[in-house]
Each structure stands twice: as structure tokens, then as C-alpha cells.
């Protein structure tokens, strides 16, 4: 396992306790990625029964009960503040929820300064039906993906996500089955955790938003899905959980995870082209490949012309001046532009 982390962090451990209290012991800006699966505050007030009169084993745990929406908001604000402090400026946070809580959490996050990058819809192929027939079947959950502030630099392994999606850019609707079968942890035939998430969901989150050796924090660790996937992908992980019965289950689960030996060329999925050494455009003038005053053409030899200034910036016909990227973005109406790919010259 590679390591880039501060030694004071309890790496690859499950910490027993309330996440707000535990996170107070963590250094500022020490975590690369946070995945949070907080209580949803489902507000269930009665048992649910199937048509055959068998009881639905839903989420009726004490940890999911709050006196009021205001109490839930206060709880959410406290743990989000604690997470924000330990998150690196280059890190991101993912929060999952349903219509019961995700919009309230989202508003709190925006008030704190988090900048939303995406909301991802997890579409369940096998959701639990609405047995009473009074609402639509709730067949999805929502994940908010956010950076710490607007304009922050963050990890996104775009090419890895394309590879997972057959070479096409991955969309924000993810069709993944709920946790079932052999993956579903059980104790004496009963679900070990009522809201266990499928590993396929965490695989995408962790692969997309972190790199080998990064620290992945889960402040509501539960049955340990985040840790299991992070361990397989050679990320450090930290789990915080206040229910001792879940800690025992998660520890046993993680003990069974044996990742393949780490090899950087295998487990690092960052775009190699972006990591390669780069040549500054003005350097081409210094060594004589291009000349001051020479004309470049945008998107081909008949495109918009631009004159190269001695400092390597371009001047367009309308008077705009900037780098090869800025000039291209100007001509494209503000859309992102890699100038190296769009400017041409005549021999």
C-alpha cells in the first residue's frame, strides 16, 4: 500500500464513536475523499406489511429517528461542518440520501460553501415495491458530489469512468441493483444492516474521485462497504461508527478482503497524457519552431486567424488577447478549449 498521508490519522481503522467527536481529533485538511451515508430520517411511524401479511424488514432502527426536522437539520449541520474541516481543499465529498433528507442536506451544504459538481441518481433495478399502493415505487437514491468551494481543483478520473462505460462518457444516472444475494451480509439469516450499499456503487465513487494512497473517510461506516472497496483499490480508509454491532460485522468483512499486490502502473488510472511533462507554448518561439508575428488558424487553415505576439500570447481580429487556450475559449463562446488541439499554422 502506498502512503501519502499524515501519520496522525488512524489509517485503515474503524473508530468507535460519534463522528463529530471523533473528527475533532483529526488534523485540518487531511482527508482526500469523503463518502457519507447518514441516517435518512425516514419518519416511519408504523409497520409495513406485504399483501401476504408478512412484515417488511425495513429501516426501523433507533439511529434513524429524530424528534423533528429541525433536530435532523442540526444533526446534519454538525457532521457536515466536521467533515468540511478535515477535507482537503483538493478533496470532494459524496453524500447519499432519498427524498426524505437529501434536499435538506443539500441546502445546508450550499450554505456552508460546498460547490456542487453533480447529483448522481442511483437507479435500482430491483427496488422494494410500495406495498400499500399509495405512492410510486421509490426506485432511486440521490448522491450529491461536491468540492469544498467553487473553483477548487479536485480529482476526477474521467477516462477511467469512460472505460467503465464502454468508452462513452459516463452519465449521472447509474443503474445498479440493490445489495442482495451473496453480497448481502446476514446474521442468523437476518440482514446485518438495513441500508447496506452495493459495492458496485462505491467502486464508481472511489475510482472516480481518488487515487491510490489517498485517504477515504466514511463517517457512518455501517457494514464497511466503503472500506472494503477502498482496500481493494489500494486507498487508505477510515471508518467511524457508533454502533458496536456494526463494527464487529465490518471488521470481519474487511478481514476477508485481500487486495491484489499493488503495482502503480495497474492501479493508477489517471490520464497519462495529463501527467506527462508539458512544453510551454512560448518555448516554441524561443527555440525557433514558431515566429513572432506568425499567423495561426483556429480549427484548420481557413479558420479564424490569430497573430502570435512575442510573449507567446495570441491576438485575434476582434482585439482579444490571451493564451492559445484563452483565445480558443473566446472563439468558442466560453466553452473549454485545449489550444494545442485547435490551432494550426501554414508551412
Q: Is 95 exposed, middle or buried (0-12, 13-18, 19+ CB in 10 A)?
A: buried
- Identify which has the larger pLDDT, 200 or 42: 200
C-alpha cell at 199: 459495492
Whole-model pTM: value is 0.77
* Cα 20–Cα 99–Cα 23 angle in degrees, nearest 5: 10
Helix axes 102-112, 69-86, angle to 10 degrees: 50
Which one, of 332, 308, 334, lies nearest residue 322 by Cα? 308
Model pLDDT for residues 101-136, shown as the tens digit of each residue? 999 999 999 999 999 999 999 999 988 777 667 788
Instruction: Report, as an integer, the average pLDDT of 254-258.
Output: 96
Query: What letter would DSSP give residue 21?
Result: H
Q: How far apart, in whole angstroms, are the C-alpha atoms of residue 56 and residue 79?
A: 30
Q: How many other CB atoms are found less than 10 A from the CB of residue 182?
A: 5
- Is residue 239 within 8 Å of 224, Cβ to Cβ? yes
pLDDT above 70 as % of the chain = 89
* Residue 60 confidence (pLDDT): 57
Question: Which residue has 495570441 as its cell numbers?
Answer: 314
Mean pLDDT over the full length of the chain: 89
Task: Grade residue 53 by pLDDT with cuts at 50, 70 and 90.
Answer: very low
Confidence class for position 196, pLDDT limits 50, 70, 90: confident
In the predicted structure, residue 7 carries a pLDDT above the cut 70: no
**Mean pLDDT along residues 297-306:** 85
Please report the pLDDT score of residue 63 as a whole number: 53
Amino acid at each position: 500500500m502506498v502512503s501519502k498521508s499524515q501519520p496522525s490519522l488512524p489509517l485503515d481503522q474503524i473508530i468507535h464513536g460519534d463522528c463529530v467527536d471523533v473528527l475533532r481529533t483529526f488534523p485540518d485538511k487531511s482527508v482526500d475523499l469523503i463518502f457519507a451515508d447518514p441516517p435518512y430520517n425516514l419518519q416511519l411511524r408504523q409497520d409495513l406489511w406485504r399483501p401476504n401479511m408478512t412484515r417488511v424488514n425495513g429501516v426501523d432502527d433507533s439511529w434513524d429517528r429524530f424528534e423533528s426536522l429541525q433536530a435532523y437539520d442540526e444533526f446534519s449541520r454538525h457532521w457536515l461542518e466536521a467533515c468540511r474541516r478535515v477535507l482537503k481543499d483538493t478533496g470532494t465529498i459524496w453524500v447519499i440520501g432519498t427524498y426524505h433528507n437529501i434536499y435538506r442536506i443539500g441546502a445546508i451544504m450550499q450554505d456552508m460553501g460546498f460547490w456542487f459538481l453533480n447529483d448522481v441518481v442511483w437507479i435500482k433495478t430491483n427496488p422494494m415495491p410500495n406495498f400499500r399502493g399509495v405512492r410510486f415505487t421509490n426506485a432511486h437514491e440521490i448522491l450529491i458530489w461536491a468540492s469544498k468551494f467553487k473553483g477548487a481543483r479536485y480529482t476526477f478520473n474521467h477516462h477511467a469512468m469512460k472505460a467503465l462505460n464502454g468508452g462513452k462518457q459516463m452519465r449521472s444516472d447509474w443503474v445498479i441493483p440493490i445489495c442482495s444475494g451473496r453480497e448481502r451480509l446476514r446474521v442468523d439469516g437476518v440482514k446485518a444492516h438495513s441500508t447496506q450499499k452495493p459495492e458496485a456503487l462505491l467502486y464508481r465513487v472511489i475510482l472516480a474521485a481518488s487515487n491510490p494512497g489517498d485517504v477515504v473517510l466514511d463517517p457512518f461506516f455501517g457494514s464497511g462497504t466503503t472500506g472494503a472497496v477502498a482496500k481493494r483499490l489500494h486507498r487508505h480508509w477510515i471508518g467511524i461508527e457508533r454502533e458496536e454491532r456494526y463494527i464487529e460485522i465490518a471488521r470481519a468483512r474487511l478481514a476477508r478482503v485481500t487486495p491484489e499486490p499493488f503495482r502503480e502502473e495497474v492501479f493508477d488510472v489517471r490520464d497519462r497524457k495529463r501527467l506527462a511533462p508539458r512544453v510551454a507554448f512560448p518555448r516554441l518561439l524561443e527555440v525557433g519552431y514558431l515566429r513572432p508575428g506568425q499567423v495561426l488558424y483556429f480549427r484548420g487553415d481557413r479558420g479564424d486567424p490569430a497573430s502570435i505576439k512575442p510573449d507567446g500570447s495570441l491576438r485575434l481580429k476582434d482585439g482579444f488577447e490571451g493564451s492559445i487556450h484563452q483565445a480558443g475559449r473566446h472563439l468558442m463562446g466560453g466553452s473549454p478549449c485545449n489550444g494545442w488541439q485547435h490551432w494550426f499554422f501554414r508551412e
